[in-house]
Copies of this chain bind each other. A is one copy, B any other.
Amino acid sequence: MFQYRVLSAGVTADTLSCKVQDISAPNEATILALLDRLGIDLGFARHAVIFQEKDQAAHFYRLVKGTVQLSKLRINGRRQIVRLVLPGDLFGFEADELRRLTAESLDEAVVAQYPTEVLDQIGNGSPQLHRAVMRFLRLQLFSTQEHAVMLGRQTALERVAAFLHLLAKRKNIKNGGVLMLPMRRRDFADYLGLSVETVSRMLTKLKDAGLIAVSKNHGKFVIRDIDSLEDVMLDAKAYGLS
């Protein structure tokens, strides 16, 4: 459908190794070294489905460029996004045989695809690689737990602040910097467990308080005061906003 092959010329060892620098955690160079040889690069247009719940899971992926979200759809139509995948992240090997999540691109994305067997090969290979993958899974688990705490115990304003804070930190954005976020309000809301309207209201609240600026042009936020953003995220009431 939207899927197309990328000329492998565009994305190769060079591009990858430069990407490796600005990645938060998961990617040990050791994994990449192995993966570089085995992957196929795929390109996806905006809002394309990379895989879906119930699909057979024969591959896992590494995001090379763009943004991808992993979500779950409930029978009554409600959706929860459980993870935001940023460049350099691995994704798509959380399932057994069948996918339990849906992966969609938020913008134009390039994704490296690997057969799941590679994971087993990693195990057979050096224990270093083994430890790297385990570490990645543990970090993944930890951040999902943090997400759960947010969904269970934070107010709407705290969630929005926490989300912006998280991304600003991960992308290493300082005060005055611009946070590019290709998500629509719908995705925003589904990640935070809120309605679009509430997200909108909380964003204007943060804007009015001078902590962020929202660009007319969708998907751009200016981080004005990241420390206050953190204060709000920890306890909106104590900060004086609610």
Binary interface encoding of chain A residues 208-242 relative to chain B, with 1 for a CB under 8 A from any of its CBs, else 0: 00000000000000000000000000110110000
- 21 inter-chain pairs at a CB distance below 8 angstroms, sorted by A residue, are A72-B145, A74-B153, A75-B234, A75-B235, A76-B237, A78-B153, A79-B153, A80-B149, A80-B153, A82-B149, A95-B138, A96-B135, A120-B127, A120-B131, A123-B130, A130-B130, A137-B138, A140-B141, A144-B144, A148-B151, A153-B193
Q: In the complex, A119 Cα to B82 Cα: how many Å? A: 28
Binary interface encoding of chain A residues 60-78 relative to chain B, with 1 for a CB under 8 A from any of its CBs, else 0: 0000000000001011101
Query: With A74-B153, A140-B141, A238-B76 in contact, is A82–B134 under 8 Å at CB?
Result: no
- A165 cross-chain contacts in B, Cβ below 8 A: none
Minimum distance in angstroms from A213 CB to a CB of chain B: 27
Interface pair B148/A80, CB less than 8 Å apart: yes
Q: How many copies does the complex hold?
A: 2
Q: In the complex, A135 Cα to B137 Cα: how many Å? A: 10
- A119 cross-chain contacts in B, Cβ below 8 A: 134
CB of A10 closer than 8 Å to a CB of B: no
Q: In the complex, A19 Cα to B147 Cα: how many Å? A: 32
Interface pair B145/A100, CB less than 8 Å apart: yes
Q: In the complex, A149 Cα to B149 Cα: how many Å? A: 12
- A51 cross-chain contacts in B, Cβ below 8 A: none
* Set B93, B130, B154, B235: member contacting A138, Cβ < 8 A: B93
Interface pair A147/B149, CB less than 8 Å apart: no
Interface centre among A80, A100, A149, A192 (most CB of B within 10 A): A149
Interface pair B153/A152, CB less than 8 Å apart: no
Q: Is the interface of A mostly helix, strand, loop or mixed?
A: helix
Q: In the complex, A93 Cα to B130 Cα: how many Å? A: 15
Interface pair A131/B138, CB less than 8 Å apart: no
Question: Besides A96-B135, A130-B130, 17 other CB < 8 A contacts?
Answer: A72-B145, A76-B235, A76-B237, A80-B149, A82-B149, A83-B145, A94-B138, A94-B145, A95-B142, A119-B134, A123-B130, A124-B127, A134-B137, A140-B141, A151-B151, A151-B152, A151-B193
The list of the 8 closest CB pairs from A to B, nearest first, reads: A152-B193, A151-B151, A123-B130, A137-B137, A123-B127, A80-B149, A151-B152, A78-B153
- A140 cross-chain contacts in B, Cβ below 8 A: 141
Q: Which residue of B lies closest to A83 (CB)?
A: B145
